[in-house]
Structure 1
């Protein structure tokens, strides 16, 4: 990291810092051999993980999501699933086990070699269907799934100092002070998408990389259609807000968060490469990026409503008591149910996606 800062003239933007901290070969968080995904912190049952995602909590998550993916495969006339950032491989296993012959090929796009090895070990029985790639092809068709992917894409930090009566916006980046990592702000023409009232200082993020990713995905879908393919659909599940909530005057400390050993902190400059760094998703920006690139928005809703629409309550009836307890964490408002949202896209005209049948919040975007 120090070499990167020095070679850049002594300062790098936070997006560059975040990219290196997470993805630098051999050193970044997702490029090293740490366990990362699991239900227990280091020293408990030998697991040594940093955080848990929905597929590790309960297989009911993937089994329920499979209902929406299966419908999308039928609507798009395809038999391919693409998963971005497959983590431990738990979601892939749940989808493959549930969808069966509806999926002919399952492609995982993941930059982490260590996670790939873990995924390969877990998905052995589906080895004839699963392949791994490190980048998008020039054209793709099928159904794309991303669970907690957008939040791990590097963001730019913007800091307003002095409030609306003459406040100046800066881009916050990282420099070196006596050999240690430190914050440093540079004046910038960049701005959040909304004006933020109030006299107070304000720290927030913008998400050019996540929005560019959605545009690129749309381009690859369209390339498939131009060559006679069938396009597809995409579903992203992540924590975040619509634009009006994301840039609310009271959210003045930003949303960047770090996770290590099942504890959260707000200092990404400490333990670099040893902990996850995330930022909440601006779903309005994601939706607009998709629409501007030619995709249709199928819907936007809370994870609670999405999973219930897809049949989670029925699946819980047949589950054991411990399984039901874990499934409740997916939909409880004080757990993952309200903080996590789901957005869906498709090529061509939108169709009635079951996950958004009740409680669609597109009007809030």
Structure 2
């Protein structure tokens, strides 16, 4: 870990690694290759370096806030669904991917108590793992860190803002012809460069105008791997993914011609991932139709798909807010507000069995729109 390095040194070293990768590849790498290096290069990538990331305000040096840091009611409410899923599947383990600061794990473990015998965290960031270990120390050996997916998993899988950080491929329709957009060099600087490709979005994009979008084979492969491992266990389980995104018809809408790749730094957003490499988050919205199909193709059942607001309301967030002080209610309101996280963020749930109904999708289920 290179915790002694300055931000400028991190970015400079990481940029040089990317330059070397471009030279080795013959002058061009796909955006997914670039994004993997920018986010996950050991010791240097955004999620692998020691710089501050999570926090509610930019003064802390943070770049963005996630729902568990925004309000402890997020995890407490989600625990209602997780507890129900544990009971329905007769399991007692949780697997959380990309656990961030450990805030969500803390909230779930506190709320669920003895219903959870093991809480497994799979996170690529060594720096964040240290922070998680400090936060979760009171729970002792109940919390375990895994370096890879086990061959079989039985229990409940949680992924909060995980899928959006998985590298995507960029497709650009230019003058009616599809290209893959990647990264090349011009006078030593990282620049965009397009190459003809046979790859296509999963559905036809109407119109003849220039159009930029993403496809997400890595996120879909990840969900397929999770599904395979849940189905490989004797008891199976369930999985819930919470993230910002759309169903396919909205994702590839003709008017969404700029793509969804976005960067986050100091609570500001921009659309240029080629600068300040390693110092800002790079994300893309999730195509939830592709995620659902990847899970179904492996044999999982869709429990439901809804906005985060509806999901949390179904699980009792409003009642929990009513018992909270004003400041806490104000923060929790952002989890549901349409202009905050409530509508942009979605929740999709899966299970190895279709013998139970998930309360989080009891009203407002949009599975028919996937």
The TM tier, using the shorter chain, reads over 0.9
Query: Relative to 1, partners in 2 of residues 1:324 and 1:170: Cα closer, same or farther, differing over 3 Å?
Result: same
- Does 1:3 find its partner at 2:20? yes
Partner of 2:10: none
Partner of 2:99: 86
CA distance in 2, matches of 1:127, 1:239: 33
Q: Deviations over 1:80-134 (max 9, x none)?
A: 0000000011000000000000000000000100000000011110122001012
Q: 108, 111, 118: which one pairs with 2:121?
A: 108
Task: Within 5 Å, give how 1:51-62 maps onto structure 2.
Answer: 51-62=64-75
State whether residues 76 and 232 of structure 1, in contact with CA within 8 Å, keep that contact through their aligned partners in structure 2.
yes
Give the aligned CA root-mean-square deviation in angstroms. 0.7
CA distance in 2, matches of 1:150, 1:189: 25
Q: 161, 169, 178: which one pairs with 2:174?
A: 161
- Where does structure 1 lack aligned partners over 5 or more consecutive residues? none
Q: CA deviation at 1:222?
A: 1.9
CA distance in 1, matches of 2:256, 2:327: 36
TM-score by length of 1: 0.96
State whether residues 297 and 350 of structure 1, in contact with CA within 8 Å, keep that contact through their aligned partners in structure 2.
no
Q: In terms of mean alpha carbon deviation, does 312-321 or 191-200 score higher?
A: 191-200
Q: CA deviation at 1:350?
A: 4.6
Q: CA deviation at 1:9?
A: 1.1
Instruction: For residue 114 of structure 1, give the secondary structure of its aligned residue in structure 2.
Output: helix
* Structure 1 stretches of at least 4 aligned residues deviating more than 6 Å after TM superposition: none
CA distance in 1, matches of 2:266, 2:355: 41
Partner of 1:148: 161
State whether residues 142 and 233 of structure 1, in contact with CA within 8 Å, keep that contact through their aligned partners in structure 2.
yes
Q: CA deviation at 1:354?
A: 0.4
- Where does structure 2 lack aligned partners over 5 or more consecutive residues? 1-17
Instruction: For residue 47 of structure 2, give the secondary structure of its aligned residue in structure 1.
Output: helix
TM-score by length of 2: 0.95
CA distance in 1, matches of 2:311, 2:359: 8
Task: Within 5 Å, give how 1:7-46 maps onto structure 2.
Answer: 7-41=24-58, 44=59
Q: In terms of mean alpha carbon deviation, does 191-200 or 75-84 score higher?
A: 191-200
- Does 1:77 find its partner at 2:90? yes
- Does 1:219 find its partner at 2:224? no
- Does 1:171 find its partner at 2:174? no
Partner of 1:247: 252
